[in-house]
Structure 1
């Protein structure tokens, strides 16, 4: 197809003006991007409906007003599925704008999950050694360690949120000092500036999910 319509599904609210420009720059001006968010139907006053509890997986995302929000996965899923069902009617392919695990979503269109792309990319690049992860929340540490667990890799984890004031460069430096061979910025909220700083202080290869998956989408829609 010479051009296409790409759906971008965020777990927060759309539009994601902090992310979609990065994707647009890679897929090109001929590609139309349609955005929807799992929290689009909620207002700031009723966000307690998706607040995480102790038994749930916690994610963090962005509201359209620029504020960050913590989200309980189980509570999010019905809202997210509803938005996806509408989005797929308008698009050729959907990008899940989260590096979390969402195998339970139902769709009739191709959908790209960044967590799968990242896992396979790291496996292809790093046969053995130390994988450095920078993650947004300390509450996600145990969950993400399980997601990345591979018998041939040692996991090193530092926390620095892309949505709140935090020290991504310091986290990258700490991973370098601990012996990381490669760093993954494990959230779609990390941007090109975060990657530049991480590379500068660590001197290591750094994978940025938003640009990695955008290049895969570009390859798909130009075929």
Structure 2
């Protein structure tokens, strides 16, 4: 039986996301999950908080609580879990749209940020204006820098998949600013967030998790 590893930057299992991935890849595929924060306890949670100018990520703990994570503190924890996970699976799916060039693995790994940018380049002309919906205001600058290298003009709205937010209004705002397509730039977004953004904008909306899951399914089956 084919085995896909799902590596979250938070804690596993990700019951908010993995069931939808399982539905796409099929029940004949086994999903094995690990998380960068799996060994973090409530007492040590403060040790992974962002500091200074460090890149901030957001994910979920096992109890459903959203948590902000500093990238510098996350990387060694993530590498440790990845090294263990690669021995159990055929391919790894990174459950984050951030960029992790320092991670090392002997197995194929699907990085959503690379898949997103290459997919958009294949379907849109250079210079096209796209809209991003992102989880946190403090991610705006870093994501602008990252996406500026993609060759697209950007408009950004914030609507978190982990807290009370309004993807409908975010989609409507991006539509008014002339974007031709919207990307939900976090693996925590789900089909309901896509539906609301699509209803608000009337535009194509790319859900990162389903796009990457379909590629994983193509690889293992």
Encode CA deviations 1:76-127: one digit per residue, 9 max, x unaligned.
Answer: 0111000001000111100000000001001000000000000101111111
Given that 2:161 and 2:188 are in contact with CA atoms closer than 8 Å, whether structure 1 keeps it comes out as yes
Following the alignment from structure 1 to structure 2, what is the Cα–Cα distance between the partners of residues 210 and 87? Answer: 19
Asked if residue 111 in structure 1 is aligned to residue 126 in structure 2, the reply is no
Give the number of aligned pairs. Answer: 220
User: Residue 64 of structure 2: SS of its match in structure 1?
Assistant: coil
More moved, 5-14 vs 45-54: 45-54
- Cα deviation for residue 46 of structure 1 reads 1.0
Q: List alignment gaps of at least 5 residues for structure 1.
A: none
CA 1:6–1:152 in 2, change beyond 3 Å: closer, same or farther?
A: closer
Separation (CA, whole Å) in 2 of partners of 1:209 and 1:12: 17
Deviations 1:196-219 (A, max 9, x none): 111111110000000000000011
Instruction: Tell me what 2:185 maps to.
Output: 186
Determine which of 64, 76, 82 is the counterpart of 2:62: 64
Query: What is the match of residue 41 of structure 2?
Result: 43
CA RMSD of aligned residues (A): 1.0
Matched, 1:73 2:71: yes
1:201 alignment counterpart: 200
Larger deviation: 125-134 or 147-156? 147-156
Q: Distance in 2 between matches of 1:203 and 1:55?
A: 36
CA distance in structure 1 between the aligned counterparts of 2:124 and 2:83, rounded to whole angstroms = 36
Counterpart for residue 55 of structure 1: 53
Structure 2: stretches of 5+ with no match in the other structure: none
1:139 corresponds in structure 2 to 138
Q: Distance in 1 between matches of 2:103 and 2:87?
A: 15
Query: TM-score, normalising length from structure 1?
Result: 0.97
Name the residue aligned to 1:24: 22
* In 1, Cα distance between equivalents of 2:123 and 2:150: 15
Q: Which residue of 2 aligns with 1:156?
A: 155
